[in-house]
Amino acid sequence: MIRVSILGATGYSGAELLKILFKHKDVQIQHLTSESSAGKAVESVHPQLRGLVSKRLEKLNVKRIAQDSDLVFSCYPAGAGIKSNDFFFRAGLKVIDLSADFRFVSADTYLAWYKVEHSAPGLLKKAVYGLPELFRAQIKEASIIANPGCYATAGILSAAPLLKKSLIDPETLIIDAKSGVSGAGKKLEPRLMFSEANENFTAYAVASHRHQPEMENILNKFSRITPQLTFSPHLVPMTRGLLSVLYATLKKSVSLGEIRSVFVEAYLGEPFVRVLPLGELPQTKNVAHSNYCDIGIAEDRRMNRVIVLAAIDNLGKGAAGQAVQNMNLCCGLPETEGLR
């Protein structure tokens, strides 16, 4: 039995983790922390868990958690969980961080994009990027795992097979993506209010979103030339779900069937990536409340461009589901446990 604790359990990712872990046969939930709601019953913050999780939220006590846990999920905002994660790592616990605190090897890159000084830069090179389809072997041996961003998950899974086979020009990548409101987290911002988001469709952080350097950093591992990415994210008036559309110029003439075969080969045997038949495109409703990533392939033959569409649940494969998949791998459990 794996003893787990969730740090920052009152957000959307924390709630999704609780729902998944509650039905995981190899997990025992130990501590659930919240600085703002300490002392309250979980069901008072997450009413959907009434009768399922009968624990109280508590303030962070790193020594107590280290004594009682084998693994922690850190769901804090960027920068807020670095010191505690460093403590748990040094105490011998496994750490799965759902923020961006360990997604970059360079502390300077982290500072440039997140405007926070990294307080444990020595850990950056020890962290493994938690995208199982590409880094499964490393994840199995990892003690600290950087759970990928939601946009990054869809974008990287769309581009990596093509870059590996040198089928696309890495300097022509464009990703246009849309996400539900829960992707921004549980925070008060005017643009996230119902009256602002409802019946509205808007772009934000165009060419400046923090998942852009994350995608470039990881995709660089699969290309001789550093990928150059233009990324435009959008907010759509739905609670959850994410659709990413990748456009890239082909380096040589290949048929659509051959391109699809590259994806079929790349993700053969992957339990959570489904490559759709030609002519069928992914939809967010088909991956809602799941850990699946559906991928569809199209082409613009006139412009010699391939178009790759990927749909995920931003709280599932884009956050909590992928975190549990990583937990299963690094703890020697069946990879799909609790996720089907």
pLDDT of residue 188: 67
- In the chain, residues under CATH classification 3.40.50.720 are 2-126
Q: Give the model's pLDDT for residue 315.
A: 97
Please list the residue range(s) of the chain that carry CATH number 3.30.360.10.
Answer: 150-314
Identity at 108, one-letter amino acid code:
D
Record the tokens describing residue 156, joined without a space: 């990287």
**Tokens (6 digits) for 121:** 């830069």
Partnered with residue 244 across adjacent β-strands are 177, 310
Residue 231 tokens, joined:
């990324």
- pLDDT (0 to 100) of residue 332: 97
For the beta carbon of residue 147, count every other beta carbon within 10 angstroms: 29
CA distance 223 to 254: 19
Beta-carbon neighbour count of residue 301 at 10 Å? Answer: 11
pLDDT by residue for the chain (340 residues), tens digit each?
999 999 999 999 999 999 999 999 999 999 999 988 888 998 888 888 888 888 899 999 999 999 999 999 999 999 999 999 999 999 999 999 999 999 999 999 999 999 989 999 999 999 999 999 999 999 999 999 999 999 999 999 999 999 999 999 999 999 999 999 988 777 667 788 887 888 888 999 999 899 999 999 999 999 989 898 999 999 999 999 999 999 999 999 999 999 999 999 999 999 999 999 999 999 999 999 999 999 999 999 999 999 999 999 999 999 999 999 999 999 999 999 999 8
Q: How far apart are CA 143 and CA 251, in angstroms?
A: 39
Structure tokens given for 174: 């464009």
Question: CB–CB of 328/338 below 8 Å?
Answer: yes
Domain 2-126, second-level architecture? 3-Layer(aba) Sandwich (3.40)
Q: What is the pLDDT of residue 51?
A: 82
Catalytic residue set: 150
What is the pTM assigned to this prediction? 0.96
Tell me the CATH class for 150-314: alpha beta
How far CA 315 is from CA of 38, 69, 112, 173, 240, in Å, comes to 24, 24, 26, 25, 7
